[in-house]
Chain A
Amino acid sequence: MSGLASILIVARLTLREALRRRLLWVLVALTVLMAVLTAWAFGRINDVSPIRGPVEMAAVSQVLVMLAFMFSFVLAMTAVFAASPAVGPEIESGLLLAILARPIRRAEVLLGRWLGLAAILVAYAVVAGYLELAAVGLATGYWPADPWLAPPFLAAEALVLLTLALVMSTRAASVAGGAVAVVGYGLAWMAGILGGVGDILNNDLLRAASTLARLILPSDVPWRGAMFALEPPAGVLDAGGVTAQAFRISPFFAGSAPPAAWLGWSALWVIGALALGIVLLRRREV
C-alpha cells in the first residue's frame, strides 16, 4: 500500500510537471492542427479520386498508414525526450537527491516516473489517434478494418520506447540514452521490414534477423498491429485484383495481425526492462 502511494506521488509529480511545462498543451495544439490538416488533405484526395473501389481503398489506407507512421514517430520521440532526462540526469543535477532521501524506494521512483509518462503518452496517442481516424473517415468515408485497435497499438509502441529510454536514463547521460533509444526504434522498424522482405523471398536468414531484433526490442510488434488495423477490411485487396495486391509488398503493409505470443512478449519485455531498470538504479551511486 505504501509502495503504491509512493509510486502515485512520483507519477503525479511527473504529470504536474508535464502540465506546468506546457508539454501537454503543445501536444494538444499539434493534435488539433494535424486533425484539421488531415481532414483537408484527405478531402482533396477524395475529391480527385473518390474512395469507392478496392484499389482506391488500398491506396488511401497506405496514405493513412504513412500518417500513422509519422504519428508513431512523434510519439516515439516524445517518449524518448521525456524519459531520457527523467532519472539519472535528475540525480546528477541534485533534483532527485532530496526525494531519494525520503522514505521511498528507488524502484518506486522509477515506476512512478514510468507511470506518469505512460499516462501522458497513452492519453495523447488515444485522443489524437481517434481524432485523426475520425478526420479521415469523415473526409473520405474510408473506415479501416479495426479503427478502434490502431491508437492502442500506437500507444503500446510508444510505451516500449518509453521503457527503453527510461531504463537507459538510470545510468546513461540524457543525450546518450536518448540516442540509443532513437537508434533502437529505427533499427527495430527496419528489422520489421526486413522480415517482410524475408517472407516474400522466403529467406530464413532475413526472417531470423527480424525475429532476433524483435526479441531485443519489440517496438515493431505493436507497430505492425497498428498498420494491420488501419488496412482495408479482409477481402478488399483480393477483390481489387493485381493492382490492389501490389500493395502487399509495401513496407507500410502488414499481412496479418501480430500473433498473441509476440504481443505477450512485448508486455513481458516491458516488465523485464523495468525490473532491469530498478536493479540498475538501486546499484547506482547517487
Chain B
Amino acid sequence: MSVPRGEVFGFLGPNGAGKTTAVKLLLGLSRPTAGQGSVLGAPLGDVATRRRIGYLPELFRYQGWMTAREVLGLHCELARIPASDRAGEIRAALELVGLTGRADDRTETFSKGMQQRLGLGVALLGRPELVLLDEPTSALDPVGRQDVRGIIGSLRDRGTTVFLNSHLLTEVERVCDRVAIVDRGRVVAQLGMAELLRDFGVRVRLSPADAGRNAAVLAAATPFGPARLEGEWLQVDEIAEPAVPELVRALVAAGMAVHAVVPARQTLEERFMSLLGAANPNGRGEEASGSPAERTG
C-alpha cells in the first residue's frame, strides 16, 4: 500500500481492523513483527522524520494542569519549532481549531470535543508535511465535524498529505481522494474515491399495473445492467449514467408508463460492506471462531 504525497488518504475499516496499529507503526510507536515500510522517504521509526509529521492520537489526552496555550508551547518545543516562530504558530493553531477564547484555560476544564480540537491544533503545529489523524471527529459535534472537514480541505490545498483513520464513512466520503479498506490487519481494497463510487445505479418508478408484468419489465431493463423489481420500483445497477435515457426509452417502447427516475448511486457504506463481504465470504459473524490461518483477505 502506498499513500501519494499531497493527497487526503482515508484508511477505513471496522473496529479492531488494525487502523490505529498502522498509524503507530508509521510513527515508530510500535514495531512491525514482519514487513517493512517508509514514511516521507525514511524507514519506519526514524526519530528525525517525526519532526515533519503531525499526529492526533485516537486516545487523546493532554496535561490537565496546563492551559491550551502551554500544551501547544510544549509541543512547539518538542517539535523543535524555532523559538521566534512559536508564538505565531500557537496563535494560528488556536485560531484554526477555534480555541482562541479558551487559550488560557486549563485543559482539564475542556470537554472531550475541545480536547480533540486542541489535539488537532497540536498535530498541525509547524506545518507538518504529513498529518496522521486517528478518528479526528470521534468526540466532535456536527459543527466540529464540519470544521475538521474544512481544516482537512485547507491542508490539502497547501499540499499537506493527510492520513485519515476513520470508521465514519460519510466523513471519508466527503474529504478523501483515495481510500484503503483494511480488515483484520490486511488491506482488502485500495482505490480512488471516484473509482470506489463509480458504480452508478438507477431506480425507476412504474405504474402498479406495469410493475406486475415482471418478465416484460426485466426483459426491457436487463440489457442495461442487473435489474430487479421492488414493488413498483425497478432497480437497475451498474448502468452507465449516459445510458439512462435509453433505458427509459426501452421501457416506454415496451409499453410501460414511467413515473419517476431517481439516481441510485451505491454509497460508500454499501461498497464498504460489499468489499468486506468479498474479503470474508464466511461472514464476519464467524470472526470469533475463525483462526488467523483462515483469513482470506
Contacts and interface: CB of A to CB of B under 8 A. Distances in A.
Given A97-B57, A286-B24, A105 B47 contact: yes
Contacts of B80: 2, 103
B31 to A, nearest CB: 8
Contact of A98 (B31, B47, B66, B75): B75
B29 interface: yes
A21 B65 contact: yes
Interface in B57-109: 57, 59-63, 65-66, 74-75, 77-80
Interface in A79-131: 93-95, 97-105
Given A100-B29, A102-B78, A95 B55 contact: no
B119 interface: yes
B253 interface: no
A157 B61 CA distance: 34
A286 B57 CA distance: 11
A9 B78 CA distance: 7
A13 interface: yes
A13 to B, nearest CB: 6
Contacts of B24: 286
B165 to A, nearest CB: 14
B50 A101 contact: yes
Contacts of B31: 285
B29 A102 contact: no
B28 to A, nearest CB: 9
B63 A104 contact: no
Contacts of B79: 102-103
Interface in B37-69: 47-51, 53, 55, 57, 59-63, 65-66
A98 B80 CA distance: 14
B12 interface: no
B122 A98 contact: yes
B74 A13 contact: yes
B32 to A, nearest CB: 12
Interface size class of A (residues with CB under 8 A): 20 to 34
Nearest to B134: A97
Given A101-B53, A103-B79, A95 B47 contact: no
Contacts of A2: 80
Given A17-B63, A104-B47, A286-B30, A99 B78 contact: yes
B172 interface: no
Contacts of A99: 78
B27 interface: yes
B119 A17 contact: no
Contacts of B50: 101-103
Contact of B55 (A13, A17, A20, A101): A101
Contacts of A104: 47, 78
Nearest to A21: B65
A94 B61 CA distance: 5
Given A98-B62, A98-B122, A103 B78 contact: yes
Nearest to B61: A94
A103 B47 contact: yes
B88 to A, nearest CB: 19
A94 B47 CA distance: 19
Given A98-B122, A103-B48, A9 B77 contact: yes
Contacts of A94: 57, 59-61
B203 to A, nearest CB: 46
A101 B29 contact: yes
Interface in A5-35: 6, 9, 13, 17, 20-21
A47 B59 CA distance: 62
B233 to A, nearest CB: 49
A285 B30 contact: yes
Contacts of B74: 9, 13
A140 B195 CA distance: 89
A98 B30 contact: no
B65 A101 contact: no
Contacts of A285: 30-31
Nearest to B52: A103
A227 B293 CA distance: 64
B224 to A, nearest CB: 51
8 contacts: A9-B78, A13-B63, A97-B61, A98-B55, A98-B75, A98-B122, A104-B47, A285-B30
Given A97-B60, A104-B47, 17 more contacts: A9-B74, A9-B77, A17-B63, A20-B66, A94-B60, A98-B122, A99-B78, A100-B29, A101-B27, A101-B55, A101-B57, A102-B51, A102-B75, A103-B48, A104-B78, A285-B30, A286-B29
Interface of A: 2, 6, 9, 13, 17, 20-21, 93-95, 97-105, 285-286
Top 8 A-B residue pairs of the complex, sorted by shortest distance between their CB atoms? A94-B59, A102-B78, A94-B61, A101-B55, A103-B50, A103-B51, A97-B57, A20-B65
